Amino acid sequence: MANELARGLRKRLTPQEVKLWVKLRELKAHGFRFRRQAPIGPYIVDFVCYGQKLIIEADGSQHGMPVHAQHDRERDRFLTDQGFQVLRFWNSDIGANLAGVMDTISIALRSPHPDRLGPVDPPHKGEG
């Protein structure tokens, strides 16, 4: 069921999602592969790079409404509990400042995220 819904959403991307998708696909040359409208648990995320455990969400104005904002917080909590980092961008930012959006995404892809790091040894006795 989730796969069918995701397949339908991939056919109906918003103009901002299309712009972002074109730029995210360019990152494949740098080793970052994104999927669009991918099911993760009970949710379908706009874009995900599984290798970096990074989710990108393109939000329209309805996400500013209290009921949607609360749903987004719950959704983000679930996704971060699964080890993902979630970046949200307003559609207006994607439309007006795509270069800045892509800079933020590039930084996140290249920055260590706690859930992407390997096991960390505890400090030696007497340290930390």
Q: What is the pTM (predicted TM-score) of this model?
A: 0.77
Tell whether 118 is covered by a domain: no
pLDDT digits 0-9 by tens, 36-80: 999 999 999 999 999 999 999 998 756 555 677 788 899 999 999
Domains of the chain: total: 1
Query: Reduced to 3 states, what is the DSSP secondary structure of residue 68?
Result: helix
Q: What are phi and psi of 84, to 5 degrees?
A: -90, 150
Tell whether 64 is covered by a domain: yes
**CATH no. for residue 50?**
3.40.960.10
> What is the DSSP secondary-structure string of 44-67?
EEEEEETTTTEEEEEE-GGGGSHH
Tell whether 127 is covered by a domain: no
Q: How far is CA 67 from the centre of its chain?
A: 21
Tell whether 119 is covered by a domain: no
- Alpha-carbon span 40 to 46, nearest angstrom: 11
Please give the residue range of the domain that contains residue 86: 2-109
Q: What is the arithmetic mean of pLDDT over 77-102?
A: 95
Tell whether 121 is covered by a domain: no
Tell whether 120 is covered by a domain: no
**Residue 58 region by backbone torsions, left for phi larger than 0, else alpha for psi between -120 and 50, else beta:** beta
Tell whether 115 is covered by a domain: no
